[in-house]
């Protein structure tokens, strides 16, 4: 058995599909926007990397989108399982969280007050998106060829912690002393002929170089980085995986030139690593997923009756949703939360967490677990809201409290949120062979 296992080889397939909206559409991420998009800087893509180690398959999907809600990802996963036999725990769906891409309903829907026509455009886009994702996955599975995989890590420094302490509490700004994770993991997939077929690269930083006054479609710095890498590596497909960047912003930010510069810096580091010695990844595909329930802090009907009187239209919308739930005797007390681990090889595991995960989770997981190279991604499989650590929750501010209005959630999480998630992380990592450090 040992010799047979060592003789196993990867087969890999890669595919992409253009998911750029074909007509003006509302862009997501900023409540300040007042109208649909006005043109395209560069295309948005969904890209799929399919892997087969002779005993099973797994597929990694990256998207130039704000986030894939469960209403989309669960439908895609069910169809992929039915049509291609790839089970849910072996399908990872990640989003770059670009704030210059389309609204993907029902993600962040409390952020917008839309007319019927705008909603129809979004519904049409969402329906086509499901088809596009399934088709891209199918195409990747359909062109599996012998391949070898390798991994390396570099660093880029433009991400900065955005939780700025002030006498009046934490606000969005620049915190040069706050935690960051400047790691740039790079996974290269070469064909047997030595040709680079795919490069999966990752970083922990919001794709928010452009602000709410920008109305053209782009993938932000991640989109520029992918284009730059593909220009440097002809024939290869570059795929961006967003890590735990919930409280990280690009710095500086505000112009398209900034986005392009950050993209070039990230691409240059990826290209440098591709030209250096990389660690071989030996086949050992495994996948597991656990969906847990995260509890919100206690709330009451009276709280939302008061909020409905607010002069803030977003709070009024949130209050209306919460009161409707109370009326139907199903007040929102918890939210489902996906925790996934995919072991790509004996040397490499991707831990994929749902939501806008703050950097504390990645830093803690990499300290706490051992047994393989661990890449910790956020924005995976469902983006239901921000996921604060206990530290961030106690500090308050946008990620812990204010953002919940736009996500249509009832309020902050209960204080056990971090420990609930880490109990699940321990379970899924244990299932793929990674243990806690002693």
Q: Which strand (E) or helix (H) includes residue 435? A: strand 435-436
Domain locations in the chain as residue ranges: 2-282, 297-332
**What does the DSSP 8-state code read for residue 400?**
I
Tens digit of each residue's pLDDT, the chain (438 residues) = 343 445 579 999 999 999 999 999 999 999 999 999 999 999 999 999 999 999 999 999 999 999 999 999 999 999 999 999 999 999 999 999 999 999 999 999 889 888 999 999 999 999 999 999 999 999 999 999 999 999 999 999 999 999 999 999 999 999 999 999 999 999 999 999 999 999 999 999 999 999 999 999 999 999 999 999 999 999 999 999 999 999 999 999 999 999 999 999 999 999 999 999 999 999 999 999 999 999 999 999 999 999 999 999 999 999 999 999 999 999 999 999 999 999 999 899 999 999 999 999 999 999 999 999 999 999 999 999 999 999 999 999 999 999 999 999 999 999 999 999 999 999 999 999 999 998
Of 215, 286, 203, give the one whose Cα is nearest residue 37: 215
Name the CA dihedral angle for 259, 211, 112, 124, rounded to a multiple of 10 degrees.
Answer: -30
Whole-model pTM: value is: 0.97
What local confidence, expressed as pLDDT, does residue 3 receive? Answer: 36
Q: Where are the beta strands (DSSP E) in 176-282?
A: 183-191, 196-203, 237-242, 248-250, 279-281
What local confidence, expressed as pLDDT, does residue 7 receive? Answer: 55
The SS3 assignment for 330 reads: coil
What local confidence, expressed as pLDDT, does residue 5 receive? Answer: 40
What local confidence, expressed as pLDDT, does residue 2 receive? Answer: 40
Q: What is the spatial distance between Cα 370 and Cα 294, in angstroms, rounded to a whole number?
A: 26
What local confidence, expressed as pLDDT, does residue 253 receive? Answer: 98
How far from chain centre, in Å, is Cα 364?
18
What local confidence, expressed as pLDDT, does residue 4 receive? Answer: 40
């Amino acid at each position: 058995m040992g010799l047979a296992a060592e003789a196993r080889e990867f087969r890999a397939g890669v595919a992409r599909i253009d998911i750029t909206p074909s007509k003006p559409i509302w862009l997501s991420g900023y409540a300040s926007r007042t109208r649909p998009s006005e043109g395209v800087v560069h295309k948005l893509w969904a890209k799929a990397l399919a892997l087969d180690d002779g005993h099973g398959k797994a597929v990694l999907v990256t998207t130039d989108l704000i986030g894939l809600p469960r209403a989309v990802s669960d439908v895609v996963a069910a169809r992929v399982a039915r049509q291609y036999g790839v089970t849910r725990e072996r399908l990872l769906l990640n989003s770059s969280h670009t704030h210059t891409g389309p609204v993907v309903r029902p993600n962040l829907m409390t952020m917008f007050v839309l007319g019927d026509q705008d909603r129809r455009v979004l519904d049409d886009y969402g329906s086509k998106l499901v088809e596009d994702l399934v088709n891209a996955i199918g195409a990747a599975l359909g062109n599996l060829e012998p391949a070898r995989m390798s991994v390396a890590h570099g660093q880029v420094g433009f991400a900065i912690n955005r939780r700025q302490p002030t006498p009046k509490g934490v606000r969005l700004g620049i915190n040069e002393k706050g935690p960051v994770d400047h790691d740039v993991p790079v996974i290269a997939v070469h064909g047997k002929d030595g040709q680079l077929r795919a490069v999966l690269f990752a970083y922990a930083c919001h794709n928010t170089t452009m602000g709410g006054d920008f109305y053209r479609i782009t993938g932000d710095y991640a989109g520029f980085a992918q284009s730059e890498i593909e220009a440097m590596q002809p024939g290869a497909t570059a795929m961006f995986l967003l890590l735990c960047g919930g409280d990280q912003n690009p710095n500086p930010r505000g112009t398209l030139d900034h986005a392009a510069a950050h993209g070039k810096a990230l691409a240059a580091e990826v290209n440098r690593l591709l030209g250096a010695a990389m660690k071989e990844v030996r086949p050992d595909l495994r996948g597991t997923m656990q969906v847990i329930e995260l509890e919100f802090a206690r709330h009451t009907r009276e709280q939302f009756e008061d909020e409905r009187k607010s002069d803030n239209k977003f709070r009024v919308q949130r209050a209306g949703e919460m009161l409707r739930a109370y009326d139907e005797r199903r007040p929102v007390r918890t939210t489902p939360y996906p925790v996934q681990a995919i072991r790509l090889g004996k040397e490499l595991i991707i831990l994929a967490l749902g939501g806008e995960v703050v950097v504390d989770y990645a830093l803690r997981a990499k300290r706490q677990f051992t047994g393989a190279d661990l890449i910790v991604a956020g924005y995976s499989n469902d983006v239901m809201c921000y996921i604060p650590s206990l530290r961030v929750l106690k500090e308050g501010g946008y990620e812990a409290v204010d953002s919940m209005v736009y996500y249509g959630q009832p309020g902050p999480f209960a204080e056990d949120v971090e420990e609930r998630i880490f109990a699940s992380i321990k379970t899924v990592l244990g299932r793929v062979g990674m243990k806690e450090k002693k």
